[in-house]
A and B are shown apart, each in its own frame.
Chain A
Amino acid sequence: MKRGAPTWVLVQAVCLAAAMFIGAAGAWSRVNAPMSQQTLRNAVMKLRSQANETAVLLDERHLGLANDAFVREHARQLGDLVDSGVEDLVRKSVPPFLADDKESTVTQGRALRRLLEHADTDATTDAKRIAQALADIAATLPSHP
């Protein structure tokens, strides 16, 4: 270190390295850890958000606010997100008392995926129904157990 440079810069550098390591470890555990009640709830809420967004997207097409090409491609991007969320759910284990909730969420997620594949204008109600079903599941999972 250059003479006169404050020693706390060294401390900061060590903290930075430690922070990067902790961050990488955190990211790794985020991907690989089994699902807690909270993480399952987060997954449900994410799918519900995507179902709500699907309803808006289909509404916009119905009202002529968004063109077919945009709706099709955005539905495809949303579908990929739903896919990865559902796959993540299927891959991860949950405690036995959450098994039913996980199964119901996967079912709703797959229904949303099918809906996004076709993105029919009259499917807005179905998207809203899926969002409601997911909200009901989330309501049974307290946010902070």
Chain B
Amino acid sequence: MKKILETFLGILTAMGGFVEIGELTFTVNAGSKFHYRLLWVMMLGTIGIMVFCEMAGRIAAVRKLPVFQIVRERTGFSLGLLTLVSASAVCLLTCAAEIGAIAMIWQLLSGWPYRALILLALAFLLLSVWFLSFRWIERVFGLGGLLLIVYIVTALKLAPDWGTLAAGLVPTLPDRGSGQLTVYAFFAVALLSSIMLPYETYFYASGGIEDEWKPSDITLNRVIVLIGFTLGALLSVSLLVLGSEFFGAREIEIARPGSAALAPAWQLGQHGLLIALLGMFFAFAGAAIETALSAAYNLAQFFGWPWGKHRAPAQAPRFALCWIVVFVLAALVVSTGVDPVQVVEYSIVFSIVILPLTYLPLMLVAGDKRVMGQHVNGPLAATLGWGYFVIITLAAIAAIPLMILTHGGEG
């Protein structure tokens, strides 16, 4: 019974923690610009993050090896350090964007000044991570993020054409002569990156070790990844529907998290609006915590320091200091007045650039029979793993040129 409850909670928290500010804005705007034409990218990205997290979770369960210990062991100190610095920079940028987005949501609810709310958000996040255990962090913010189901309800009420939606699973290019091909390619890469954000894997693998997963938990790992991420993807699809049916129909591209709440308000009134705002708050706060902890996990695992939320800060002082510093730096970044939505756009593009650097070492370990024994990658995991490696490498090469060519997706 305990196992079933644990699995159920794992699925729900995986679903509730699937969306963050970058994915929200990119998905809604992808729907607004290209309707359902990029649905196939969402499917591709969802399977990709399943493959990546399943491998990371399996390695964590079998060998208790976290991602950055693997990176250091497989690529050596110098190259591993470069990967670590890049990954930490992306975690910091993403954390900054999430804190800015939380402050914006709170501003909509309270009317207080933005900068004061950044400070308040910083204090809230620091206290949450300090006092809550890993399990409760997952539960509070993952389950709170489930309020975003209001977007699924809104999408259903918008009554999309299911045939057109399903047709989006087959890749099609924009009309010739529309001049939108490069923008379409940029959105495809950005959407893929926003779903396959590397910090999710760092956090997932470290979480498996925090939760003391054993080889017998491999099935739990697979169920959470398969069902939780599929349900999370449903949330993303509902955002695409909103983008197409509500925002696209009104020729709006959103640039603030509160804008996304206009659709539930239109369909469900003030209750829908409030639930959407609260859901976004929990989702963004969860993402801010995941990014800060991921940066701390990465540093501690790379340098071999004691780490983990299961340890008191006095037992893992450098780990605790790392996540505190990440939160403070992130709050400082958004306090400068930089636009959080633009920050997350950059962090998403750079995320895909660094993704192959952490993906490959992980895949090499997952496919190494000497390390994984009977739990080594089977033919399906190996085929999918190498297939996705090619895809993310191509996306990584294309990401920055596309960002420059399209002025960050504007055209």
Would you give the shortest CB distance from A131 to chain B, in whole angstroms? 8
Interface residues in B, total, Cβ within 8 A? 51
Q: Report the Cα distance A144→B346, complex, angstroms.
A: 24
Contacts of A69 in B (CB 8 A): 109, 111
Q: Report the Cα distance A66→B354, complex, angstroms.
A: 41
Q: Report the Cα distance A56→B250, complex, angstroms.
A: 8
Q: Is the CB of B76 within 8 A of A2?
A: yes
Of A74-82, A95-103, A114-122, the one contacting chain B is: A74-82
Q: Is the CB of B273 within 8 A of A65?
A: yes
Would you give the shortest CB distance from B188 to chain A, in whole angstroms? 18
Q: Check B107 for interface membership: any CB of A closer than 8 A.
A: yes
- List CB contacts (< 8 Å) of B249-299 with chain A: 250-256, 258-259, 262, 265-266, 269-270, 273
Q: Is the CB of B411 within 8 A of A38?
A: yes
Q: Report the Cα distance A10→B356, complex, angstroms.
A: 12
Contacts of B74 in A (CB 8 A): 2, 5
Interface residues in A, total, Cβ within 8 A? 50
Q: Is the CB of A46 within 8 A of B75?
A: no
Contacts of A38 in B (CB 8 A): 407, 411
Closest to B405 in A: A26
Q: Is the CB of B76 within 8 A of A77?
A: no
Q: Report the Cα distance A65→B259, complex, angstroms.
A: 14
Would you give the shortest CB distance from A77 to chain B, in whole angstroms? 5
Contacts of B401 in A (CB 8 A): 22
Q: Is the CB of A60 within 8 A of B262?
A: yes
Most buried by A among B104, B258, B262: B262
Q: Mask for B352-378, Cβ within 8 A of A = 1, else 0?
A: 011011001000000000000000000
Q: Which of A5, A16, A42, A57 contacts B354 (CB 8 A)?
A: A16
Q: Is the CB of B360 within 8 A of A9?
A: yes
Given A12-B356, A53-B262, A23-B349 contact (CB < 8 Å): yes
Given A30-B408, A64-B269, A73-B111 contact (CB < 8 Å): yes
Contacts of B266 in A (CB 8 A): 56, 60, 65
Task: A23-B346, A74-B256 given; name 9 further pairs at CB < 8 Å.
Answer: A1-B78, A2-B76, A26-B400, A46-B410, A64-B270, A69-B111, A74-B258, A131-B251, A143-B179
A-B contact list, 21 entries, CB within 8 Å: A5-B74, A9-B357, A12-B357, A13-B357, A20-B350, A22-B400, A26-B400, A46-B410, A49-B251, A49-B253, A60-B262, A64-B269, A65-B265, A66-B262, A66-B273, A67-B273, A73-B258, A74-B256, A78-B256, A143-B179, A143-B411
Binding site for A on B (CB under 8 A): 73-76, 78-79, 82-83, 86, 104, 107-109, 111, 178-179, 250-256, 258-259, 262, 265-266, 269-270, 273, 339, 346, 349-350, 353-354, 356-357, 360, 396-397, 399-401, 403-404, 407-408, 410-411
